[in-house]
Amino acid sequence: MSSEASLQRLAESLGRQPAEFQTLGSLQPAQIDLLANAVVQTQQRQREALAKAIEDALGHIPMLLRGPVKKVLGIK
């Protein structure tokens, strides 16, 4: 993969262009891919941790109220 393609993949992973693209452009494409993979994996772990935290918090709410609370919070 070319440096430009790797930088584009990283930008897509971040959801925006990194501020220091010139510095990142000096990396090898394999290094940029490694960074992009790390970003994607970290975002996935964050989503999983947030989902677990929400479920744990809902565990403190009485069963009859969990449905309405989830609806108000917009949780599926």
Span 25-55, pLDDT tens digits? 778 888 888 988 998 999 999 999 999 999 8
Of the listed ranges 3-12, 31-40, 63-72, the least confidently predicted one is 3-12
> What Cα–Cα distance (Å) separates residue 36 from each residue in 3, 11, 17, 42, 72?
12, 8, 12, 10, 35
Terminal-to-terminal C-alpha distance of the chain: 38
- What pTM was computed for the model? 0.68
Model pLDDT, residue 22: 62
